[in-house]
Amino acid sequence: MTAKIRPAKGAPYARILGVGGYRPTRVVPNEEILKHIDSSDEWIRSRSGITTRHWAGPEETVAEMTLAAAGKAIADAGITPEQIGAVVISTVSHFKQTPSIATEVAHRLGTGRAAAFDISAACAGFGYGLTIAKGLVVEGSAEYVLVVGVERLSDLTDLTDRTTAFLFGDGAGAAVVGPSEEPAIGPTVWGSEGDKADVISQTVPWDDYREGGVEKFPALRQEGQTVFRWAVFEMAKVAQQALEAAGITSDDLDVFIPHQANMRIIDSMVKTLGLPEHVTVARDVETTGNTSAASIPLAMERLLATGQAKSGDTALVIGFGAGLVYAATVVTLP
Ligand SMILES: CC(C)(COP(=O)(O)OP(=O)(O)OC[C@H]1O[C@@H](n2cnc3c(N)ncnc32)[C@H](O)[C@@H]1OP(=O)(O)O)[C@@H](O)C(=O)NCCC(=O)NCCS
CATH 3.40.47.10-classified regions of the chain: 13-180, 189-332
Instruction: Give dist(CA 71, CA 18) in Å, integer.
Output: 10
Q: Using pLDDT thresholds of 50, 70 and 90, give the confidence band for residue 217.
A: confident
**Mean pLDDT, the chain, as a whole number?**
96
- Contact yes or no for 17/77 (Cβ under 8 A): yes
Q: Using pLDDT thresholds of 50, 70 and 90, give the confidence band for residue 308.
A: very high
- pLDDT for 213: 67
- Ligand 1 atom with the smallest distance to the CA of 227 is 41
Q: What is the CATH number of domain 13-180?
A: 3.40.47.10
Q: Is the CB of 323 under 6 A from ligand 1?
A: no
Per CATH, the homologous superfamily of domain 189-332 is Thiolase/Chalcone synthase (3.40.47.10)
Nearest to 177 by CA among 151, 149, 138: 138
Q: Using pLDDT thresholds of 50, 70 and 90, give the confidence band for residue 298.
A: very high
Instruction: Give dist(CA 26, CA 58) in Å, integer.
Output: 11
Coil vs helix vs strand at 317: strand
Nearest to 242 by CA among 279, 190, 300, 296: 190
Q: Using pLDDT thresholds of 50, 70 and 90, give the confidence band for residue 102.
A: very high
Asked if residue 316 has a cis previous peptide bond (ω within 30° of 0), the answer is no
Q: Using pLDDT thresholds of 50, 70 and 90, give the confidence band for residue 313.
A: very high
- Contact yes or no for 273/253 (Cβ under 8 A): no
Residue 115 has pLDDT above 80, yes or no: yes
Q: Is the CB of 261 under 6 A from ligand 1?
A: yes
Instruction: Give dist(CA 274, CA 313) in Å, integer.
Output: 19
- pLDDT tens string 36-56: 999 999 999 999 999 999 999
Residue nearest to atom 25 of ligand 1 (CA): 39
Give the residue numbers marked as catalytic: 123, 259, 290
Q: What are phi and psi of 130, to 5 degrees?
A: -65, -40
Residue 215 has pLDDT above 80, yes or no: no
Instruction: Give dist(CA 236, CA 98) in Å, integer.
Output: 36
- pLDDT tens string 140-183: 999 999 999 999 999 999 999 999 999 999 999 999 999 999 99
